[in-house]
Amino acid sequence: MLVLDDWGLAAFSDESRRDLLEIFDDRHGSRSTIVTSQLPVEHWHEALGDPTLADAILDRLVHNAHRIALKGDSLRRKKATVPAPNTGSPQADARQR
């Protein structure tokens, strides 16, 4: 299994597009690939840059894919926590821990 995390976060070079095509061509129909991205799939073609290579890459990657679109806030954002009430007594505070 190949996992590509944060797909499309940075620009693709001509060399990286050719490498991706070769990788996906070798894996197509025989091995699993997981791609995570904050970039919507509709923008992947544009993000790849070269229209001809983008067509070939996405043809091998997207057409038989299962898409899972997540909604809501990022889980990486820390939620504000409410501090425990301070009783003023060191012994009581220690017992609460």
Residue 96: pLDDT over 90: no
pLDDT, averaged across the chain? 82
Q: pLDDT tens, 59-87?
A: 988 888 888 888 877 777 766 555 666 65
Q: At what angle do helices 14-27 and 51-61 cross, to 10 degrees?
A: 30
Is 2-71 a CATH 3.40.50.300 domain? yes
User: Is 0.85 topped by the overall pTM?
Assistant: no
- Distance (Å, rounded) from C-alpha 59 to C-alpha 61? 6
In the chain, where are the structural domains located? 2-71
Q: How far is CA 52 from the centre of its chain?
A: 24
pLDDT of residue 27: 87
pLDDT tens digit string along 33-51?
A: 999 888 888 899 999 998 9
